[in-house]
Amino acid sequence: MKTLITALLLSAATASYAAPVDPYGYKLPPSMQTKKKKAEPKKKAAPAVDYVGEYVNFGDWKDVRAFLDDVAARNGFNRDELNALMAQVRYVDATVQLVKPAPPGKPKNWQAYSKLMIDPVRIDAGVKFWNDNSEALNRAESLYGVPAEILVGIIGVETVYGRNTGRFRVLDALTTLAFSYPEAPQRRERMEFFRGELEATLLFARQSGIDPLSLKGSFAGAIGMPQFMPSSLMKYAVDFDGNGKIDLLNSSTDAIGSVAAFLVGHGWERGQGGPLVYAANVSPNRAWETMLNQGLTAKYRTPELTAAGVTATTPVPEQQTYGLVDLQNGADPTEYWLANNNFFAITQYNRSYFYAMSVVELGRAVRLARGGAPAPAVTSGM
């Protein structure tokens, strides 16, 4: 998922965009508008892979052999076939470098981040995606209770509607990270996570009748338009187009239904109504600071928030619970928001306030560009 930011920085395509009027007073960032339409550069044929894999004979590694023994015994795989498969897997240093924590540098800046994630290219692509997939989006909204604009926002943020799905072989990326994760806090836990994802990849490939080496994805092994990790694919992906197979790379319909199923499986509540987030003011006494970083959950009721000095800039439903979200803006003042449970369901997709807020705002911007005005996902008080 994180590869998308880099990919977007390299994108030179821009498109014309006229800012619509939002009936709820939400102001679109200037980055969503351009004065002139520029010609898109000619696309070059994408290489089969975007990295150089190194043969290291993973099959000789003690930990790999133990893993394969366990996977074969637990799942009924032929051990010789696993050996033959592992002989074709390559070590990819690029994945190791990309998972390393970013060096200390500039403070987090929501406004800068949002300009990358909510731009004319994504908005125009989102309008086309919504128009082309309106039936599937309406059906997913009806079945799962997740608004179309949230589904559009997630797929847009993840891969610009399938444009940037990654070209790493999933087995290469996952094996490298499962057995050669860089030195970092919780290294052992991260390696166990990727070993679980490697096993899920093998199971999915067998279940689907495909060559596991044919699966391509991100540097961390995420697959398809919605960038599902293999375990999420196994648990939440659905055959939403009814053709008898799950294809998150080529089927927009499967991607839409699968994202909706994932959100419901991670706490999305049907029928909450109203925005997912409300702009808030905080008092100088800073008693509210204890409400920050309390996990990705909405746990406070409005009387508790008010007592701590947090007030929404517009009325909020008092029957709901909220979490206090801080969006840092570098040297500029931090923004504070009250977020409900459905906002935090989005953070289960990517554990970042910036990510969830960009999903909300991109989906809303695409809806406005189409001329629609259903219930708002964000109330800014502007």
Decide if 8 is inside a domain: no
Q: In sequence order, which ranges of the chain are alpha helices (DSSP H)? A: 3-10, 62-75, 79-86, 93-99, 110-117, 120-132, 134-144, 148-159, 170-179, 187-208, 230-236, 252-265, 302-307, 341-347, 353-370
Question: Given this model, what pLDDT does residue 51 score?
Answer: 67
Interstrand relation of 332-339 and 277-282 (parallel, antiparallel or unpaired): antiparallel
C-alpha angle 68-69-73 in degrees, rounded to nearest 5: 115
Judge whether 122 and 116 are in contact, CB under 8 Å: no
For residue 298 the two structure tokens come to 């909405």
Are the C-beta atoms of residues 272 and 341 closer than 8 Å to each other?
yes
Residue 382 lies in a domain: no
Strands 378-379 and 168-169: unpaired
Domain membership of residue 198 as a residue range: 54-103+166-265
Predicted pLDDT at 52: 72
Distance CA 238, CA 218 (A): 21
Which of 54, 81, 135, 158 is catalytic? The answer is 158
Enumerate residue ranges in the chain where pLDDT < 70.
Answer: 1-51, 373-382
Tell me if 82 is assigned to some domain: yes
Residues 294, 298, 302, 303, CA torsion sign: negative
pLDDT digits (tens, 9 = 90+) for 171-200: 999 999 999 999 988 999 999 999 999 999
Distance between CA atoms of residues 317 and 295, nearest Å = 22
Q: 158 catalytic, yes or no?
A: yes
Q: Are 119 and 31 in contact (CB under 8 A)?
A: yes
**Angle at 246 (CA atoms; ends 140, 146), nearest 5 degrees:** 15
Whether 73 is covered by a domain: the verdict is yes
3 state SS of 108: coil
DSSP structure class, residue 38: P
Please check whether residue 97 lies inside any domain of the structure.
yes
DSSP string, 214-253: G-EE-TT--BTTTTB-HHHHHHH---TT-SSS--TTT-HH
Contact 311/379 with Cβ under 8 angstroms? no
DSSP 128-194: HHHHHTHHHHHHHHHHH---HHHHHHHHHHHHTTTT----EEHHHHHHHHHH-PPS-TTHHHHHHHH
CATH number for 173:
1.10.8.350
> CA angle 344-29-315, nearest 5°?
50
Question: What's residue 23's pLDDT?
Answer: 30
Q: What per-residue confidence (pLDDT) applies to 76? A: 97
Give CA–CA dist 354/334, Å, rounded: 12
State the pLDDT at residue 333: 95
Instruction: Count the domains in the chain.
Output: 1
- Please state the pTM of the whole predicted model: 0.84
CA-based radius of gyration for the chain:
22
Nearest-angstrom CA–CA distance, 179 and 51: 19
Distance of alpha carbon 215 from alpha carbon 219, whole angstroms: 12
Check: CB of residue 381 under 8 Å from CB of residue 302.
no
